Amino acid sequence: MQSVMRVLGLLLLLLAAPSLAEERAKTVLLFVPEDDTVPATAGFSRNFRQTVQREWRAPVTVNIEYLDMAWFSSPEYERALRDFYVAKYRSRRPDALVVFADATPFLLKLQQELWPEVPLLCILNDDFLAEAVPKSPYLRGNWADLDIPATVKLALQLLPDTRHVVLVLGSSQRELDAWSWVEQEVRSAAPGREFIGLSGLTLEELRQRVRTLLPVGGLLEAAKIRLEAEIVREREAPEALQAFSHALAWLERTGSSPSVVALWKARAHRLRAHHDFVLGRDARSLLTAAVEEIHAVARDSPENLRLLKELVLVHLLQAENERREGRDPKPALQEARAAMWKVTEVDAMRAELTCEAANQQSPFQARECQRLLREAKGSSR
């Protein structure tokens, strides 16, 4: 977090520079080396845009260019990129440039050709790389922490019974070159755990290996995270939806308890509904199915906290969907209120966690959940 704030602080200084002080909306151009199908890239890009727009108090636009350098790194590809950006931006001057990691050498050349007096902030993986950035009034180098051991240790603190640690990297040349170093970092942070390395596999081969490694709960969580990532990107997700369906089918074959099966079926319906919602489709039928799954196993008054939490999230999304479709959201909010009160009566901390989950969905759901939580806490005093 400290490295993020260092980067943001430098960027805000660049935007506030006197040479850029005209009273107009600022434009920040961010270049990243991978495309947005890489979860880390998608997360970094999204958080970067949201943070800049939140912290800069004047109008600002963040445009993101994905260079796809993992697979295409030849001189011919770089020349083609250069020609493309010269044609695209020759008559458009951004107010600040930001480049992440491996795209830095390319952007240094592009800046000199297109925007020699536009500030460029280079975000690199190590402090010595940041120090090596050429010194110039229009260049700044900063470093972002890439602390693999700390990440692994945190995961093990959250899941202390972990027995296997799996490292998955792709088959691009950059990932192959990084394998030995990343493996050493992971192993050093997980002594006593079995290390399993998966690299150079096709997508289908990787899926088969993961199925043999993960318990069904792990598969469900992986499918959930994958679909949530596609929801954030607001795009069609046939493969993510299919992966969720396969994981649910496996759950049913394992003979899990009815409440666990109902929870995951309801969650799947809610996530599919959220996916439809962000794509502009009416999610009413999927949300109705989610409620029916919960009530089928818990009758009209579920007491299971996990089912109740899911029910709150379903009804909040129902309310937002109804409002957007021009229908009355109040019945769904009443149902959400009833479920939230039950959660709060049993476990106030779980109620707060429910609202943390709602915060990830939309401002409307976050606001309504906090309102219901305050009402529930007030009634319990």
Say how many CA atoms lie within 13 Å of 186 toward its Cβ.
18
Calculate what percentage of the chain has a pLDDT beyond 90. Answer: 28
Name the band, by pLDDT with cuts 50, 70 and 90, for residue 300.
Answer: low
So what's the pLDDT on residue 222? 81
Phi-psi region of 296 (alpha: psi -120 to 50; beta: other; left: phi over 0): alpha
Q: Which residue has the higher pLDDT, 155 or 126?
A: 155
Q: CA nearest 312: which of 278, 279, 346?
A: 346
Four-point Cα dihedral 173, 176, 178, 180, nearest 10: -160
Q: Provide the pLDDT confidence category of residue 5 given band limits of 50, 70 and 90.
A: very low
pLDDT of residue 8: 52
Q: What is the CATH number of domain 2-143?
A: 3.40.50.1860
- Residues facing 165 on adjacent strands: 195
**Whose CA is closest to 277, among 247, 240, 314?**
314
List where CATH 3.40.50.1860 sits in the chain.
2-143
Percent helix, percent strand, percent coil in the chain, to nearest 5: 65, 10, 25
Task: Tell me the mean pLDDT in the region 130-139.
Answer: 80
CA distance 294 to 315: 12
Sign of the torsion formed by the C-alpha atoms of 131, 132, 137 and 138? negative
Q: Report pLDDT for 350.
A: 83
Integer Rg of the chain from CA = 24
User: What is residue 282's predicted lDDT score, i.e. its pLDDT?
Assistant: 96
Q: What are phi and psi of 327, to 5 degrees?
A: -105, 175
Helix/strand/coil for 97 = strand
| Contact yes or no for 329/350 (Cβ under 8 A) | no
Matching residue, tokens 């430098």? 10
Q: How far apart are CA 206 and CA 133, in angstroms?
A: 38
Q: How far is residue 247's CA from residue 241's CA, in Å, rounded to a whole number?
A: 10
Q: How far is CA 194 from CA 152, 213, 235, in A?
A: 13, 12, 37
Write down the pTM of the prediction: 0.53
Q: Above 60 in pLDDT, residue 181?
A: yes
| pLDDT level of residue 214 (50, 70, 90 thresholds) | low
**Count of alpha carbons within 13 Å of 13, Cβ hemisphere only?**
12
pLDDT of residue 339: 92
Residue 65 DSSP code: E
**Is residue 21 scored above 50 in pLDDT?**
no
Angstrom distance (rounded) from CA 155 to CA 158:
5
| pLDDT tens for each residue of 42-95 | 777 888 888 888 777 778 888 999 888 877 778 899 899 999 998 888 888 898
Strands 164-169 and 120-124: unpaired
Mean pLDDT, to the nearest integer, of 286-298?
A: 92
